[in-house]
Amino acid sequence: MSNTTPSGVSSALENVSVTDLAKHVQSLTDRVDDLEQEVAEKDERINELEQRVDELEDKANEAEAHRNAIVRQTQTRDERIDELQAREFEKGAHLLADNVDADRITVNGNKLERIAKDDGEAYFRLPGEDDALGRGGAVAHSTADLLPVQRLARYDDEMLASVTNRKPDELAGKSWRKRDEAGRYSLWSKGSGEIRSYLDASDLAEWIRLKESGVSKKYSQELARRTMDAMHELSNGRLGKTKRQRSKDGLSYQETRLVLKADVELPGEITSTDTDDNPTTDGVAGE
């Protein structure tokens, strides 16, 4: 077997000098050095970021501890205020409603009563207690003075559903809230002359269909009738009931209408005979 090198390969090797190989090796070495430098710099940056994360975690833990301390202090402060206010209520004090969290205070099993005074401000007191200092003037109206339908209207929807045993009573409270709302699509209509406002059964039935899911047209009419009966009863007769002839689609039928006359006094409200403005409700009546 011959050990001779092919002439083409031999020529190529002759063209590659030792110097060229050395330059290539140096280039590779420089590239490795550059990469190692980049890795070192990235490692350093990672260490800096890890240190920064540790510092932020320490600050976050400090902030959480500070927040918990504030919560404890606030809770302790609120408990002290509640206790002091409860003691004041026991002495017959009337305190401004804006300064009292009524849901947190119970005195000898009695819930606080919200009242209005001659100064136009709302106050809390123990039911029936007179303020020895006479602050704010005389009591204008208290919760106990309100009509049953007015008291129901003060609750939000969730509470209203829990305090009423009948659906018509719940709807009566919701309907009463809408009495002073104005606009083209308002539930109640504004009257004139001796009529302050009125509500028709057909309008109430349509409103019930819109507000109560799954209620058929026929059942909404039945609910409207029962709700009107409930409103008449819960208003202690302040709302009148009348029948009127109405025509629709060529048919004539009788429809029930609830009527609130202009001269009827409602606890906590200013009637049209007292002022030229529209009837309004004070902050106590909760219309």
Which pLDDT score, from 0 to 100, does residue 109 have?
65
* 259 CB-near residues (< 8 Å, 6+ apart): 191, 195, 198, 239, 240, 241, 242
Q: 83-109 as b/e, with b when 16 or more CB fall inside 10 Å? A: eebbeebeeebbbebeebeeeebeeee
Structure tokens that stand for 93 in this block? 């004090």
Which pLDDT score, from 0 to 100, does residue 175 have?
93
Single pTM value for the model: 0.50
Which pLDDT score, from 0 to 100, does residue 276 have?
43
Domain ranges of the chain: 90-143, 148-281
CA torsion through residues 167, 287, 200, 198, sign: positive
In the block, tokens 């003037």 appear at: 137
Can you state the percent helix, strand and coil of the chain, rounding each to 5?
A: 50, 15, 30
Q: What is the pLDDT along the chain (287 residues), one digit of tens a residue?
A: 555 555 555 555 555 577 888 888 888 888 888 898 899 889 889 998 999 999 999 899 988 988 899 989 988 888 888 888 888 888 888 898 888 887 788 787 667 777 778 787 888 888 778 887 777 877 766 667 788 998 888 777 888 888 888 999 999 999 998 886 666 668 999 888 899 899 999 999 999 999 888 889 999 999 999 999 999 999 998 999 998 887 776 777 788 999 999 888 887 665 544 444 444 333 333 33
Of 265, 243, 238, nearest to 256 by C-alpha is: 243
Q: Which residues pair with 190 in a beta bridge?
A: 197
Structure tokens that stand for 281 in this block? 């409700």
From CA 1, how far away is CA 39, in angstroms rounded?
Answer: 52
From CA 231, how far away is CA 256, in angstroms rounded?
Answer: 13
From CA 109, how far away is CA 132, in angstroms rounded?
Answer: 22
